[in-house]
Amino acid sequence: MLLIPQKRGKFVISFPQISSKNQVATRTNMKKSILLFIAFLFFNSTYSQPEKKDKKSSQHKNSSSEKGWYVKLASFQAAKAIGEFSISHSAGFGADFSMEHHKENRFLYFIATAGATHYLGKNVTVSGYPYKYPGNTFIHLMGGIYTIPGNLNIRIIAGPALSLFNGNARFNITGRLEVNYTFKNDLLLGPVLNLMKEPGTNSLLSVGIKLSMRFWPK
């Protein structure tokens, strides 16, 4: 679908020098320090890290005594228009704020997200004349479900959106499929498939990569 402009605006390490007198004593002290440091690392990795991981794991897979919308995420997405959408627009970028709802079954969870994504318009030639498409901004409010098999976080969300294009605001339905990999239970990174659909027109698609940071309650 090629969007053609019209008058009405419709578009679809360095060590210090050691003297000979103190060399033996210095080596002895260094050996002791190294041994103490190794012992500290062993103790820290054996006891401290599992406790922190278990604490967050228990928060993520919460018990019935702690459930609700208590985990927040801030996300940034870099996207690229594909298919018919790539005729008029190219790269996109956006930001989201999300909240995760945890419940007892520990398999499916709810998520709600709000944000916006802006796509840059392309320079094209229409009927022999150069033309630059205006940017297209989608402001969305979506909800859906996600599951967490292992370190993956798989989401399917959808909802209403407002498309701001060439001075016009139009209603859209938008959806998203995400497959994120979780790092240290705080960072999520993975590919995204975006869908935008205005009633009466063809669907617009884009793919991207999304980085999210999870904020745990204190």
Q: CATH number, domain at 164?
A: 2.40.160.20
Same-domain check for residues 94 and 179: yes
- Number of domains within the chain: 2
pLDDT band at 5; cut points 50, 70, 90 = low
Residue 11 located in a structural domain: no
pLDDT recorded at residue 3? 53
Q: Report the predicted TM-score, pTM, of the whole model to 2 decimal places.
A: 0.68
pLDDT tops 50 at residue 114? yes
pLDDT digits 0-9 by tens, 19-62 = 444 444 545 555 555 555 555 544 544 444 444 444 444 445 44
**Mean pLDDT score of the chain, rounded to an integer?**
78
Residue 36 located in a structural domain: yes
Domain interval for residue 33:
21-60
Same-domain check for residues 42 and 107: no
pLDDT recorded at residue 10? 47
Q: What one-character-per-residue DSSP string does the chain give?
A: ------TT------PPP--TTTHHHHHHHHHHHHHHHHHHHHHIIIIIHHHHHHHHHHHHT--TTS-EEEEEEEEEEEEEEETTHHHHEEEEEEEEEEEEEE-TTSSEEEEEEEEEEEEEEPEEEETTEEEEPPPEEEEEEEEEEEE-STTEEEEEEEEEEEEEETTEEEEEEEEEEEEEEEETTTEEEEEEEEEEE-TTS--EEEEEEEEEEEE---
pLDDT digits 0-9 by tens, 124-171 = 888 889 999 999 999 999 999 998 888 899 999 999 999 999 999 999
